Amino acid sequence: MSLIAIEASIYLNDPAVRDAAVAESVKYQQATRDDEPGCLVYCFAADPCVADHIQVYELWENAETLAAHFDHPNYHNMRELLGKFGLKSAVSRKHLITKSAPVYGSDFKASSSFD
């Protein structure tokens, strides 16, 4: 099984509206989590270090569930909503994850290994 992660950076023209944009997007974040099969994580969050930046992290079970999301009203509603807040720029990337492992072992030490 391969998971698909999406990470994105959204910058708004006016930093003063960033928190309102994130707050208003909660309804679509929750609807995506609740209503779309294959959605494991769907989070649009304010970057605590950059005033005009929204960080996006999504995790999908597979390409089919991600493709269904791109056709779903939640996806289109989120795009429309964020556009109303004045996008300066947005960059998003998808990543195919073919292996996962815990970060911490039974000894509570972090490891970068996938063994």
- 16: domain CATH number? 3.30.70.100
Tally the domains of the chain.
Answer: 1
In a domain, 103, yes or no: no
Range of the domain at 80: 3-97
- Angstrom distance (rounded) from CA 44 to CA 22: 7
pLDDT digits (tens, 9 = 90+) for 19-67: 999 999 999 999 999 999 999 999 999 999 999 999 999 999 999 999 9
Which phi and psi (to 5°) does residue 46 adopt? -70, 130
Q: Are 48 and 30 in contact (CB under 8 A)?
A: no
The pTM (predicted TM-score) of the whole model is 0.91
In a domain, 104, yes or no: no
In a domain, 105, yes or no: no
In a domain, 102, yes or no: no
